[in-house]
Amino acid sequence: MKVSRRDGVNYVFDGQHTIEIVATESGSRDTPVWCMIYDDLAYKEEAHIFADQKKHVKKLSPYETFKGHIEAGDEKQLMIQTILKSYGLVAAGTKIPNGVCAVTTLERIYDKFGQSTLDTVLRIAVATWEGEDNSLSGSMLMGIARIVVAYGDLLKEDRFKEQVGRVSVKSIIRTAKERRPGALGFAEAMMIAYNNKSKNGLSIRMLYGGKNMAYESEEEDDAGQG
């Protein structure tokens, strides 16, 4: 907390929200908190300190936020971590072997489509490309999620691995950009590969069959992360 002490009165000028959180979590407004005390500041000086320090506060990355939830024991992030581990993967802040940087997309798949879908998406991605560069990016994972949700039991994972796995991730990305923006472009590119040389392929139109499959650009914030 940042506190300005003027005329014997303490004024909190940065950290009010933190105070409320501490009071709520502890059940008491008398819970001690660490404070930085400024003596005899004018109101304008308080405002200056507040504004200037905000310029230098580094925004937490999605990975740092994810790790914070893990440390706090939050159920969703712990479950995502467990699913990742089951496929030899880890959440990561930078590209590393078997690392998934697209933690925001992992959370969105979990929230929007459920735990089972996230598990299926990661299983398919790992089996199909075996860790190929960018195979675990946000748009790739969300693209697979949309395929899994759209086709359900009609989608054959063995065929997906065999047919789509023949196509490099670079080719998928190139075709996706030619089709349409976002994860739906990736989903279309993968379904083109899936249907290759099949007389009775699955209709790409099924990707747009329900309200959950409507186009959204939500995965763009970490779409390029591996």
Query: 9-13, 116-120, 153-157, 194-198: lowest mean pLDDT where?
Result: 9-13
Read off the pLDDT band of 53 (50, 70, 90): low
| Whether residue 221 has pLDDT greater than 50 | no
Dihedrals phi, psi of 180, to nearest 5 degrees: -170, 160
Q: Contact at 8 Å (CB) between 209 and 150? A: yes
Residues 43 and 68 in one domain: no
Pair (160, 111) in one structural domain:
yes
Pick the more confident residue, 208 or 60.
208
17 plus 89 within the same structural domain = no
pLDDT on residue 25? 80
Do both 75 and 185 map to the same domain? yes
Q: 27 and 131 in one domain? A: no
Domain hosting residue 175, numbered range: 62-222
Provide the β-strand partners of residue 36: 2
Could you say which of 31, 55, 79 is where a domain stops? 55
Beta-strand relationship, 2-6 and 9-14: antiparallel
pLDDT for res 57: 65
Q: For position 210, what pLDDT does the model report? A: 52
Torsion of CA 107, 113, 119, 120, to 10 degrees: -140
127 and 216 share a domain?
A: yes
How many folded domains does the chain comprise?
2
pLDDT value at 163 more than 70: yes
| One domain for residues 51 and 89 | no
Q: Are residues 200 and 148 in the same domain?
A: yes
182 and 96 within one domain: yes
The lowest-confidence range among 56-70, 79-93, 182-196 is: 56-70
Strand segments, DSSP code E, in 94-178 are 99-100
Rg, the chain, Cα only:
24
Q: What is the pLDDT of residue 220?
A: 41
pLDDT value at 224 more than 60: no
Answer yes or no: is pLDDT of 7 > 90: no
Please indicate, yes or no, whether the overall pTM of this predicted structure exceeds 0.85: no
pLDDT, mean over the chain? 86
Residue after which a domain boundary falls, among 55, 79, 95? 55
Q: Please tell me whether residues 166 and 192 are part of one structural domain.
A: yes
Same domain, 22 and 79: no
Contact 8, 41 (CB under 8 A): no
The answer on 132 and 41 residing in a single domain is no
User: What's the pLDDT band for 19 if we cut at 50, 70, 90?
Assistant: confident
